[in-house]
A and B are shown apart, each in its own frame.
Chain A
C-alpha cells in the first residue's frame, strides 16, 4: 500500500469530525457513496480535481489531507523497522498502523529516535575513551599507581627475608601510591560523571552545531542586524571545544553573508517563488552555497514550510541536516542516491536543480538546489575536497508534474524498479 493511502484516512477523519455522513460528502462532490467509501478506506487513489473538491467540501486545504506528519511518521517507522529487521514488524501495514493508532505510532517513533541518540552517545563515548587525552592520562595514572601498589605488595608478602630498610621503603611507597591512586580514581570518576551528565547531548561537533542551530531555528536576528557573534556563543557554553569552534565559524560566516545578501531580499525571493529563488544573488555574483545558506537561514514565510538544508562533508558523511517537510534525512547509513546533493558531488562547482517529490506520492514537491564547493587544500597536485550543500525549497500548491520521485533511503523507500536502489526495502516486500 502506498503511503499516499493515508489521504483516505484523513478524509474520513475530517468528515467524521465535521459530523458529515458519507452520503452527504459524496453528494457534495458528485461521486457515489460507494466510491467515496473506497477512497476513505484507501482502496482508491485520489488526486487532482476530485481531491480539491473534497478538500473544499471539508473546509480543509489539499495539503492538510495529503501530507502533514503522515509521510514523515511512516518513514520514521520504516527506519525503526529497518533497524530491527528480526522484530517482525508488519512493514506492509505501516499506513494502517499510523492511521489507526497515531499516538502509539508516535511513541514508537520517539523511542526509536531516543535509541538512535543513545547509540550516537555510546559511539561518542567509546571514541572518547579511545582518543580523549585527558581520559587517557587519567587511566594511565590509575593503572600506573595500581601497578606500583601491586608490585610493592607482592614483594612484601612474597619476600620472606626482606630487610627492614627495604620493608620501610616499600611501606612508604604503598602509602604514597595508595593516596595517589585514591586521588586519581576520584578525578577519573568526576570525569566520567561529567561525560554521563551530558548523555542527552550529541556526540559529535557537527551534531552539537546542528542542535544549536535547531534551538535557534537556524535563524539569528542579531547577526542579521550585524551584531557580533560573541553574545550568541554563551548559548554554546556547554559544547566541546571542537563543537564550539565549529559553531563560532558558522556564526561568523552567517554574519558576513547576512551583510552580503540581506534578509529582506531572501524573504522576497521565497515569497515570489521558484524563478526569483533561482536568480537570488546572481546579479551580485554571490557564490551559490552562500545563497543556499541564506535561504535556509530565513524564518519561514507564512503559508510555507521552512527551507531544508543538507550538508555533506568531503568524506561523504552527511554532517548537518535541517529537515524539509516530508523529506527526512537519515541519521545513520546512506541517504537516497537520487538526491541532487550526490549528483552535485559528482560534478563539483556545477549547480544542480531538480524538482523532487517524495516517493510516497504524498506531500508537496520541493525544489532542490545542490552544489559541491571544491577546495584544493593541498595545492594543484593534491586531492580536491568537495563539501556538498543542498537546499530544499517547498513548492506549495505544486502538483509535482515532472518531479523526480526520491526517497529518504533505500530501505524505507517504496519506489519500485528504482535504478538507484542499493538495498531492499523493508516497506514493501520484494522490492
Chain B
C-alpha cells in the first residue's frame, strides 16, 4: 500500500503543519502551491492520494479535480478536498466532480490522518 501524498495548498503554514504530522505518520509528502500547474504536478509526482484546496491561485480546485477525473491515469486517484467554504452546494459540487472526501477548514490533524489512511486503504 503506497503512502505518498501530494498537498496542493497555497497556505504555507497549513502545508508545513500537514507535512509534519503526515511525515511523522510515515507518509511521503510532496507539495504544490499553484493551481494553474497543479494537474501537471500530479502527473509528475504520481501520488497515492491528493489533498486539494479549493481556492488556489491560478485555478480553482474544482477545475483541477474535473481534469483529474477526465484523465484515465488519475480517474481513480483518491482526492480529498479542503475548503474554507462548507456550504452544502460546495460539497455537492465537489461530489458531482467525483471527489473522494470533502473536508472543511478548520480541521483537526487527527481527522486528516484518519481520512487519508482510510482513502489509501480503500
Residues in chain A within 8 A of chain B (CB atoms): 130, 136-137, 139-140, 142-152, 154-155, 158-159, 166, 169-170, 173, 176-177
**Cα–Cα, bound, A176→B14 (Å):** 12
Q: Do A155 and B106 touch across chains, with their CB atoms under 8 A apart?
A: no
**Cα–Cα, bound, A130→B16 (Å):** 30
Q: How many CB-defined contacts (below 8 Å) exist between A and B?
A: 59
Minimum CB distance partner of A143 in chain B: B84
Q: What DSSP secondary structure best describes chain A's contact surface? A: helix
Q: Do B20 and A147 touch across chains, with their CB atoms under 8 A apart?
A: no
Which positions 66-93 of chain B face chain A at CB distance < 8 Å? 84-85, 87
Is B119's CB within 8 Å of the partner chain A?
no
Total count of chain B residues near the partner, CB < 8 A:
18
Q: Do B24 and A159 touch across chains, with their CB atoms under 8 A apart?
A: yes
What is the minimal beta-carbon distance from B76 to any residue of chain A, in angstroms?
Answer: 28
Is B11's CB within 8 Å of the partner chain A?
yes
Q: Do B84 and A150 touch across chains, with their CB atoms under 8 A apart?
A: no
**Cα–Cα, bound, A177→B87 (Å):** 25
Complex contacts, B87 vs chain A, CB 8 Å: 130
Complex contacts, B11 vs chain A, CB 8 Å: 144-145, 147-148
Chain B window 11-38, contacts with chain A (Cβ cutoff 8 Å), 1 for yes, 0 for no: 1011011101100100000000000000
Q: Do A147 and B21 touch across chains, with their CB atoms under 8 A apart?
A: no
**Cα–Cα, bound, A158→B11 (Å):** 22
**Cα–Cα, bound, A177→B106 (Å):** 13
Also in contact, A146 and B20, with CB within 8 A (given A130-B87, A139-B84): no
**Cα–Cα, bound, A145→B12 (Å):** 10
What is the minimal beta-carbon distance from A161 to any residue of chain B, in angstroms?
Answer: 10
Residue of B20, B55, B85, B106 touching A150 (CB-CB under 8 A):
B106
Residue of A130, A139, A144 touching B14 (CB-CB under 8 A):
A144
Q: Do B105 and A143 touch across chains, with their CB atoms under 8 A apart?
A: yes
- Sample (23) of A-B pairs whose CB atoms are under 8 Å apart: A130-B87, A137-B55, A139-B84, A140-B85, A143-B84, A143-B105, A143-B106, A144-B105, A145-B11, A147-B14, A147-B84, A147-B105, A147-B106, A150-B108, A151-B13, A151-B14, A151-B17, A151-B18, A151-B109, A152-B17, A154-B108, A173-B13, A177-B13
**Cα–Cα, bound, A177→B20 (Å):** 17
**Cα–Cα, bound, A139→B24 (Å):** 31
**Cα–Cα, bound, A167→B85 (Å):** 30
Which positions 82-122 of chain B face chain A at CB distance < 8 Å? 84-85, 87, 105-109
Cβ-closest 10 pairs across A and B: A151-B17, A143-B84, A147-B106, A148-B13, A147-B105, A140-B84, A173-B13, A150-B106, A143-B105, A146-B106
